Amino acid sequence: MISDHGDPMAPPGGEQTGGQNVYVRELARHLGKKGVVVDVFTHWDDPDRPQVEYPFDGVRVIRLAAGKKGYVPKDRLLRHVPAFVSELGQMVRRDRRVGSFDRYHLIHSHYWISGRVGRLLKARTGLPQVHTSHSLGLDKIEHQPRAVDPSRLEEERAVVTHADAVVATSPPEVERLVEGYGAPRERIRVIPCGVDPDVFRPRPGQLPPGREPEELTLFFAGRFVPQKGVDVLGCAFARLARGWRGKPLRLVLAGGDGPRVPVADWSPQRRLLEQILRAGGVRDRVTFLGPVDQERLSLWFHAADVVAVPSRYESFGMVALEALASGAAVVASKVGGLSHTVKHGVSGLHVPPVDDEALAAALERLLSDEALRRRLRRGALRQVRREYAWQRIAAAMDALYQEVGTAWPTPLMAPASS
C-alpha cells in the first residue's frame, strides 16, 4: 500500500491525521488477519518513529524520508514524489524479505499524491494498481477554489482513468468519479469504510471526564479546517443558544487546537471560531478538548446527546460512521458520502451544507425529543452491524485484489511473513 501523507500509526487528532490514517491502518490490520501480507509505505514525518514498524501480524509500516525526514504539509509532498519512488525502490531491492517487486501482488494507493506514486511504480514494475481517493479535488474546489492546485485535478483524472481498479467508498462517489473525471464505470467497485466494534461501541453508564450530567451536550470531532464546517457549527450553536429554554447547553470539540496550544499558534479556523463564539455570547459554553484517543472519542460519541458532522464535503465521513457505531444520534450535512452513510430519519438527520439556520433547527429538534434520539441511536447500531464491519470490508477488498491479480500476468505473490 502507498499512503504518502497518511501514516497509519500516527496518533489521532494531528494536522494530517484523519479518516485516511484510520482506514489504511484498519484495512491493513484486517487483511493481515486474513493472511494477506501488507507493506504500507508512507512518508517519515515523525523522526521519533522507527523506519520500519510491525504493528500487526503480516503488516509492516515502512517510512521513507523522500528528501526530508520530518513534517511536510501534504500540499507540498508532490514535489517529493520522485525521491519517494526512488527510495521505495531502493528499500525493496535491499529488503531480504522481498528483494524485488516481483514478490508483490499489486499496488494499492491512497489519496491522489500516493496515486501518482502508484502510477509511476506501475509503469516501472508492471504491477496492477488499485486506487482509493479518500477525497476529491472537484469536491474541495467548490468550497475552497483557491486551495486546489489545478495539477491535482489533472493527476486525479490520470490516476482514476489508468488504475486497474478504483475503490469508491459510497455510491455518490461513483457518480463523481465517472461524471467529473471520466473514470471507467466498469473498473469502479463500491467498498465502504469500516469501523472497529471493539473500540466504537455503546458505553452505557460511562461518562468521560468533563461530561456534566445536568447539561445537554453537542459533540464535534475533526480537524479544524474549512472542509469540516466547524465555523458553521459555531454559528448554529450561537443561534440555538439564543432561544434555548431547556437544560444548559454545552458544545464539546475534539481535535484541532486544544487547550494547551498557545493563542499565537492557533489555526485560522480556530481563530475564526473564537470570533464566532464570542460574538454570539456562547464562548463560556464551549469546551476544546484537543486531540483525543479512540477510546475517549467513543466515550464522547455515546455520552453526547447529539453528534454534529457539519462538513462542507466528504467522500465518506469516517467520523459519522464511528459516531453511529458508538450509538450516537447524528446530524450530518447532506453531502457526498455522508448522504449515504447517515440515513435520514433512520440513523440520523440530514441538513443542507453551510446552512447554520438549518443545522440549528435540526439540533434543536433532536435535543428537544429524547424519544427521537433513542430511535436514531437504535437505527444507527442496526445499520453499522449490517453494513460496516471491518471483517466484511477486508473480505470485499481481498476479493477485489484477487480479481485484479487474476486478470493480470503478475504472479499472485506477496512478501514472505516475518
Report whether pLDDT(286) > 90. Answer: yes
Look at residue 407 in the predicted model and tell me its pLDDT.
Answer: 58
Fold: same for 2-194+392-404 and 216-387:
yes
Question: For residues 362-383, b (16+ Cβ closer than 10 Å) or e, as one string?
Answer: bbbebbeeeeebeebbebbbeb
CATH architecture of 216-387: 3-Layer(aba) Sandwich (3.40)
98 pLDDT higher than 80: no
What confidence tens digit (pLDDT) does each residue in 340-368 have? 999 999 999 999 999 999 999 999 999 99
Check residue 418 and give its pLDDT: 34
Judge contact between 126 and 149, C-beta under 8 A: no
What's residue 107's pLDDT?
96
Mean pLDDT of 143-172: 89
Is 9:32 a contact under the CB 8 Å cutoff? no
**By the 8 A CB rule, do 353 and 311 touch?**
yes
pLDDT band for position 334 (50/70/90)?
A: very high
Q: Given this model, what pLDDT does residue 411 score?
A: 36
Distance (Å, whole) CA 131 – CA 118: 8
Mean of the per-residue pLDDT values of the chain: 91
Which pLDDT does position 103 carry in this prediction? 86
Least confident piece of the model among 8-22, 23-37, 335-349? 8-22
pLDDT beyond 50 at 413: no
Average pLDDT over residues 282-305: 95
Cα 211 from Cα 339, distance rounded (Å): 29
Q: Identify the helix (H) or strand (E) that includes residue 173.
A: helix 171-181
What mean pLDDT do residues 228-242 have?
Answer: 97
| pLDDT above 70 for 266 | yes
Q: Band the pLDDT of 4: cuts 50, 70, 90.
A: very high
Segment (H or E) for 130: strand 129-132
Cα 339 to Cα 314: distance, rounded to the nearest angstrom: 9
CB 239 within 8 A of CB 362: no
pLDDT given for residue 76 in this prediction: 87
The C-alpha cell that represents 82 in the structure block = 520522485
The arithmetic mean of pLDDT across residues 279-286, rounded, is 97
Query: DSSP alpha helices (H): ranges in 190-229?
Result: none
Amino acid at site 241: A
Q: What angle do CA 33, 199, 351 make, to 5 degrees?
A: 115
- Range with top average pLDDT, 97-106, 146-155, 222-231, 371-380: 371-380
Confidence of residue 177 (pLDDT cuts 50, 70, 90): very high
Count Cα neighbours of 308 within 13 Å in the Cβ-side half-sphere.
36
Mean pLDDT of 166-195: 95
Give the pLDDT score at 409.
46
CATH of 2-194+392-404, one of 3.40.50.920, 3.40.640.10, 3.40.50.1820, 3.40.50.2000: 3.40.50.2000
List the single range of 20-29, 142-151, 399-408 with lowest mean pLDDT: 142-151
Lowest mean pLDDT among 134-138, 241-245, 410-414: 410-414
The domains of the chain are located at 2-194+392-404, 216-387
Taking CA 102 as the corner, what is the angle to CA 98 and CA 103, rounded to the nearest 5 degrees?
40
